[in-house]
Amino acid sequence: MAKLGDIAQKIRSKNAGPFWLTVDVFCGTEEAYQQVASGLSTARVATTYGVPLQTLKRFDIADLNVIKFSFPRPSTQGAVDDRDLHGASWSVLLRDIEI
């Protein structure tokens, strides 16, 4: 089994407004996209981020070889307990998932 970080060309996370985060998995090739799309379950991503499955949104964009996940931030952007103002550190959690 390979780690997602070894298959994907790039994994990034960012704000999707003050209440949501988004994580993009750029696969680079159609072959890598197919491997990730079939091997990475939405439930596994929800568990990794500690969010209820029904709140995680998944978008498979085959034309771009990208899979995108969006979910509510644990706290509002800029709140006192917000530890990642730009949402940039969330992508790291997906890199070590085995596909």
pLDDT per residue over 56-66, tens digit each? 999 999 999 99
- CATH architecture designation of domain 4-95: 2-Layer Sandwich (3.30)
Show me where the domains of the chain are located. Answer: 4-95
H/E stretch holding 95 reads helix 92-95
How many other CB atoms sit within 10 Å of the CB of residue 36?
22
pLDDT of residue 85: 86
pLDDT of residue 53: 97
Question: Which ranges in 15-91 belong to alpha helices (H)?
Answer: 30-39, 42-49
pLDDT per residue over 10-56, tens digit each? 999 999 999 999 999 999 999 999 999 999 999 999 999 999 999 99
How many other CB atoms sit within 10 Å of the CB of residue 87?
20
pLDDT per residue over 77-96, tens digit each? 989 998 888 989 999 999 99
pLDDT of residue 38: 96
